[in-house]
Structure 1
Amino acid sequence: MTLPVALTGHDVIGQAKTGTGKTLGFGLPLIERVVVRADVDAGRAIEEKLSDSPQALIVVPTRELCTQVTNDLQTAGKVRNVRVLAVYGGRAYEPQVEALQKGVDIVVGTPGRLLDLAGQRKLDLSQVRALVLDEADEMLDLGFLPDVEKILTMLPTRRQTLLFSATMPGQVISLARRYMSQPTHIRATAPDDSGHTVASVEQHIFRAHSLDKVEMVARILQADGRGLAMIFCRTKRTAADVADQLTRRGFAAGAVHGDLGQGAREQALRAFRNGKVDVLVCTDVAARGIDVEGVTHVINYQCPEDEKTYLHRVGRTGRAGASGTAVTLVDWDDIPRWQLINKALELSFNDPEETYSTSAHLYELLKIAPGTKGILPRSERTRAGLAAEELEDLGETGGQHGAGRKGGGDDGTAGGKRTHLGGLHRGRAHGCPGLW
């Protein structure tokens, strides 16, 4: 639905459920519309139209999504020899600067590093004819908006602007129209799929006790037919802790969160894609856009912040027509938060059933064999594990906790606006180690 409109150069607001192919919805028109050497040779364009400066810019919220979109576009652009470059924090500047000097057609980047390179005159945005904001509602969120606005001031006023996301609240659309010229709003849904979530995802919501959750998760991970699994936690500390506990119980688990250096984040995601680990424990850094084949189970270890986060997390399974299972474990004190999500998404789980690792209905609903315990039997420990995946030296700028740029935020924001300084963090800053 987006291709004919985007190919003519019109502005588009594209909205479709997770896992339905939005990347190629904006990627193919960009690849088709950039002028490359083949166009000049075939007589479709004149020599003057060729440029070594980027002709298209894609801005994404996270580093992981940046590498994924880049890989997809490199694959799709092979025939036309389109040069695509990923630009994001946590990696050394030099290789990115060298690639820009050699010439690129499409740049995919996180806001922080894009602003850095543009500020140092290493990235020339004056030739950009098309801008894409992927996960647009996140990019126009208060944390990212100042950076996105700075990038917009560096672009030519006459350009094509494309916005894509699975969730697009009304206020985001009205804000987006400030940067767009007569946009076409395209909302793609299957005629038989009326709910907010993908119909092929089976959802289970349980009221669970925090001390029993790891045991519950360990049993759910032994469900019949379980492939790759993603476990979402609200904080970086919880994600690290759950990954450690599952590893001790015999599972091949890796973690992706903002306290890890970029090399470790990429190592875990690579090991997950390659099947060396089959459980990825992560914060919401991996909730948007990440596409890994074979994810059958998504587990919300803690109740998501809001309905948008829930939709994006659950959307990591049941992608491209496959089916999946989503399990959400809600603490007693998170029930009111869950009920708001339940109402917003018009789900039927307003009062989740109290559930423990020994509950019969847990085994029955999730197809767990009777007698399963929370430790993986040695005979089933067949994965190579995280250590088998090579840890790349990226020449990181921030040492062990590579924040990705001088004073940079966790996900490429210029001033670290998006690092959540919750009460615990502040307590630590005021010298209260007990809180930490």
Structure 2
Amino acid sequence: MAEEAEKEITTFEDFKLNKQLLNAIDEAGYQKPTPIQLQAIPLIMAGHDLLGIAQTGTGKTAAFLLPLLMKVKYAQGHNPRALIIAPTRELVMQIEENITLLAKYTDLRHTAIYGGLGPKTQIETIKNGIDILVATPKRLLELYLKGDLILKELKTLILDEADKMMDMGFMPQIRKLLEVIPRKRQNLLFSATMPDKVVELSEEFLEFPTRVEVTPQATPVDTVSQTLYQVPNLRTKIELLEHLIQDTETFKRVIIFTRSKKNAESVSRFLEHRNYGEVRAIHGNKGQNTRINSMEAFKGGEVRFLVATDVAARGIDVSMVSHVINFDVPLIYEDYVHRIGRTGRAEQLGAAITFANDIELYHIRKIEKLIRMQLNKVPMPAEVKVFETPFEEQQEMAMELDRQKRRDDPDFKGAFHEKKSRHKSNFEKGKKTGDPKKSGWQKTKKKGSRKK
């Protein structure tokens, strides 16, 4: 019977949503429910606790928002009746934008609270009365402990991107929250992957949950092609990037992920100097307003390149991203899935291209094991000049491999174990500088070169 009922649901009307939501869905251009929506919405509307394993870009935000908006229905009372917690400011803002879109024809009051901005305006909005609150864990607890937020009327609690929440160390805040909110409530937990910490959290947080899994854990969406280039060093990576993006018809809207803020700045400066199109960089050192403005410009199509670190990887919800380029391979392997999930969204075709040096291939093997597939390795284009790797960069790569192997095996003794640690050269301690297109790395200072 359940299978028959599931087959009958082919449109949003079949969920028996109210007219206000159906009008908003129609205006938003949603054609048909995605697999996660088909499975999750009836269960959530029936009041079940839910554990949803769904990658970014599968439509999971609407999967929990549509039944939530049906449940909360209209403005009532003063304090929030539903709370959605997400790990980053960008993701909180994205969820809030989706609520604004879908609750367009209702009188529901909602707001988002997050760090990076002063809390005064956020507190005023809360005091005026809200029905749905979207928050990052730190700002939520901060306002609650100051007495600016009353949570005793909560009926629904949703944790989104739970795996990222655990990676960022938010377990203590979540536990504190669970101690103070009403026990009688509906709980929904969504995660792209299911590491042990998320399993532990789900056991504490959910009561007899129904598990919904639309794809195997950590499997990239089928609409994304994945390509790997073996690139020996930073300067050659820049050369390859330049070669690829000259195809303006194919590389229309591109997100470039780097592992560090420094590389993000280097890549964005290079693109700016070469005038290949508008470029913005977002990372932890950028102010909140700068990040918001950069995201809006990219969404609006005014910006061709968005260069980002993983801090923003899950908060980017932009349709029609043609390519994701992993300039650096992520060291948290699940982040690979989240990065490439920025393209191929809403059943559109997308492409993910990864640059990996010899040391990063070690991490690629781990990523391939996680996603249970091999990346399509392609040869370096003949037009791209391959540069020799500077000695300092070779040394740094070797040390990075040693560090990684030591994490995997504490007894591992590499080329840079403790006996040699007192001989560390200045390049290891100092910062790398300069245009990556030029010489590469800053030279080590000679002993005694300081003026007396």
- TM bucket (normalised to shorter chain) is 0.7 to 0.9
Query: Of 228, 232, 238, which residue of structure 2 is paired with 1:214?
Result: 238
Alpha-carbon distance, 1:348 to partner: 2.3
Match of 1:102 in 2: 128
1:102-159 CA-to-partner distances (Å, cap 9, x unmatched) read 1011110111111111111111111111111110112234611111212222211111
CA offset at residue 344 of structure 1? 2.1
Q: Does 1:52 align with 2:116?
A: no
1:160 equivalent to 2:186? Answer: yes
Change (3 A) 1:265 1:30: same
- Counting only pairs closer than 5 Å after superposition, residues 80-159 of structure 1 correspond to structure 2 as 80-141=106-167, 143-159=169-185
Out of 24, 38, 43, the position equivalent to 1:5 is: 43
Bigger radius of gyration: 2
Residue type matched to 1:228 in 2? R
Describe the shift of the 1:72–1:235 C-alpha distance in structure 2 as closer, same or farther (beyond 3 A).
same
Structure 1: give runs of 5+ residues left out of the alignment.
38-49, 361-431
Amino acid in the other structure paired with 1:20: T
Distance 2:315 2:57 in 1: 8
Q: Is the 8 A contact 1:138 1:144 kept in 2?
A: no
For residue 57 of structure 1, give the secondary structure of its aligned residue in structure 2.
strand
**1:357 shift after superposition:** 7.4
Name the structure, 1 or 2, with higher relative contact order (CA <8 Å, separation 6+): 1
Summarize the Cα distance change of 1:357–1:146 in structure 2 as closer, same or farther, 3 Å threshold.
farther
Distance 2:218 2:188 in 1: 25
Q: Does 1:205 align with 2:231?
A: no
Moved more, 293-302 or 219-228: 219-228
Paired with 1:60 and 1:142, the residues of 2 have a C-alpha distance of: 11
Q: Say which of 157, 182, 196 aligns to 2:219.
A: 196
Q: Which amino acid aligns with 1:144?
A: F
Deviations 1:343-367 (A, max 9, x none): 22222249x556367259xxxxxxx
Q: Distance in 1 between matches of 2:347 and 2:281?
A: 27
SS of 1:325's partner is strand
The 5-angstrom pairing of residues 224-235 of structure 1 reads 224-235=249-260
* Residue number in structure 2 paired with 1:73: 99
* Larger fraction in helix: 2
Which has the larger displacement, 19-28 or 338-347?
338-347
Aligned length: 349
The answer on whether the counterparts of 1:12 and 1:185 sit within 8 Å (CA) in structure 2 is: yes
Secondary structure of the residue aligned to 2:52 is strand
Report if the CA contact (8 A) 2:193-2:217 is conserved. no
Across the aligned residues of Structure 1 and Structure 2, the Cα RMSD in angstroms comes to 2.2
What letter is aligned with 2:234? S
Gaps of 5+ in 2: 1-38, 386-427, 433-452
CA apart distance, 1:301: 0.5
8 Å Cα contact 2:256/2:305 also seen in 1? yes
8 Å CA contact retained: 2:281, 2:308: yes
Report the equivalent of 2:430.
434
Q: Which amino acid aligns with 2:119?
A: Y
CA distance in 2, matches of 1:6, 1:214: 47
After superposition, the C-alpha distances for 1:178-215 in whole angstroms (9 at most, x for unaligned) are 111101101124xxx99921111111101112111122
Identity level (%): 38
- Tell me if the contact between 2:218 and 2:370 (Cα under 8 Å) persists in the aligned partners: no
